[in-house]
Structure 1
Amino acid sequence: MIHHRSGWNFLLLVGLLAGNGVWLVHSQVPFPGQCPEVKIMDTFDVDSYLGIWYEHSKYPFAFEIGKKCIYADYEIIDNATLSVVNGGINRITGNPSNISGTAKVIGPARLAVAFFPGQQTSKPNYLVLGTDYESYSVVYSCTSVTSLANIKLVWILTREREPSAETIASAKKILEENKINQSFLIDTIQSNCPKLAANGTDFGVEDLTEDPVDEFVGTVLPNAIDKA
């Protein structure tokens, strides 16, 4: 619960971030205070992490609004750098799109992912909190805007488009251990998805009626606020 002057300062800062577009660029989930401590993996096998990961769920992220069938593909460039391809399907047009970038290995389970020229790669912005390499990965990023607020991104990635309940339970256990709020997670649609080499997709009826963004705004966010 936010109280008195610090609460008003936080709400004012959120308004400024939204007005300047900073909030929308990074995340739609601001939190009060600075970034909390989280447990990052002590050892990390980059080679075992390579390949395709499908996005199961995430904190709301402006760049992914209106997309389904989202995936990430990591391949080796050299000992310290990976290539990154993030792709998905536009739920309205059915057209695929992707963006390419690089991931610099800063330390064990600490990567600096960049998609644009001049983007900083000296500090990690992709932290792997846990993975078994074969079924799930929990990825976390947090930026302290000031001492008053931080913005977070959280992803649960899986090797299968439709993972088992046991796989997701293992991933969410890592979130629980790090005291990361799961109320803001929204599921990514991974049904009626084409093969990654295809140029189009079937557009099912459920895609027109089940909108995770609308669900977040109408249900998840109010419930999370009530629990704060």
Structure 2
Amino acid sequence: MKALQVLSVLLLAAAAADGQSFHYGRCPQPPVQEDFIMTKYMGTWYEIEKLPALFERGKCNQAKYTLLPDGTVNVYNAELLSNGKINSIEGVAKVKDPSHPANLDVSFFKGVPDAPYWVLSTDYQLYALVYSCTDYFGLFHFDLAWILARARVLPDGVISLLHDKLTDAGVNVNRLLVSNQTGCDGLIQ
């Protein structure tokens, strides 16, 4: 048990130093989009706001989702780094339970556990609100959240509505970072 406590403290310290979102206790279980329609969700989404994430360091962050013949989803995430290079990663998302299609698991690396990808809310045409949370030993959790849009900007009223939904889900919206989507057109395909 002592080793587990040391590991927990080290993980929390590392996460706190890098602005990650670690919290004591188990993951919250916010409601997800009812009657989620996967095919309408496909296409390109631009990141408008997010909780800090160690793996996101650039600007012009976007995701492209493509439905595959086997019913899984190809996930292509890309960002523009400060050195002008494009950083991208490709993975696969799958619905865990067909009766809950807005609850997906996404995998980017073989041998690494899948990460949750929960669509909390979307109108498919303007915005999407995504949440991810992973429990560690039942003692603490790490969460991520993204406000996404079909365009590189989103009206303030929509952002405010999505902040309210995140607050209701137990997410501290004061930790959200605004994503830089300026000067991005045509840079990432």
Interval containing the TM-score (normalised by the shorter chain): 0.7 to 0.9
| CA contact 2:78–2:188 (8 Å) conserved in 1 | no
Unaligned runs of 5+ in 1: 1-10, 199-228
Residue 96 in 1 paired to residue 86 in 2?
Answer: yes
Q: CA separation in 2, counterparts of 1:116 and 1:71?
A: 19
Query: 5 Å matches for 1:81-160?
Result: 81-91=72-82, 93-107=83-97, 108-121=101-114, 125-160=116-151
Comparing both structures, which one devotes a greater share of its residues to strand? 2
Q: Which amino acid aligns with 1:102?
A: V
What is the match of residue 52 of structure 1?
Answer: 44
| CA contact 2:79–2:188 (8 Å) conserved in 1 | no
Deviation string for 1:35-79 (max 9, x for gaps)? Answer: 1221112321001100000001111101112x0000000001025
- TM-score (norm: length of structure 1): 0.72
- TM-score (norm: length of structure 2): 0.86
Comparing both structures, which one devotes a greater share of its residues to helix? 1
Q: Report the structure number with the largest CA radius of gyration.
A: 1
| CA contact 1:27–1:152 (8 Å) conserved in 2 | no
Percent of pairs with identical residues: 35
Q: Which amino acid aligns with 2:173?
A: Q
Q: CA separation in 1, counterparts of 2:113 and 2:27?
A: 19
Unaligned runs of 5+ in 2: none
Does the residue aligned with 1:63 lie in a helix, a strand or coil?
A: coil
What is the match of residue 212 of structure 1?
Answer: none
Q: CA separation in 2, counterparts of 1:173 and 1:151?
A: 20
Residue 181 in 1 paired to residue 175 in 2?
Answer: no
CA RMSD between the two structures: 2.4
Aligned length: 181
Query: Which of 4, 9, 18 in structure 2 is aligned with 1:15?
Result: 9
What is the match of residue 64 of structure 1?
Answer: 56
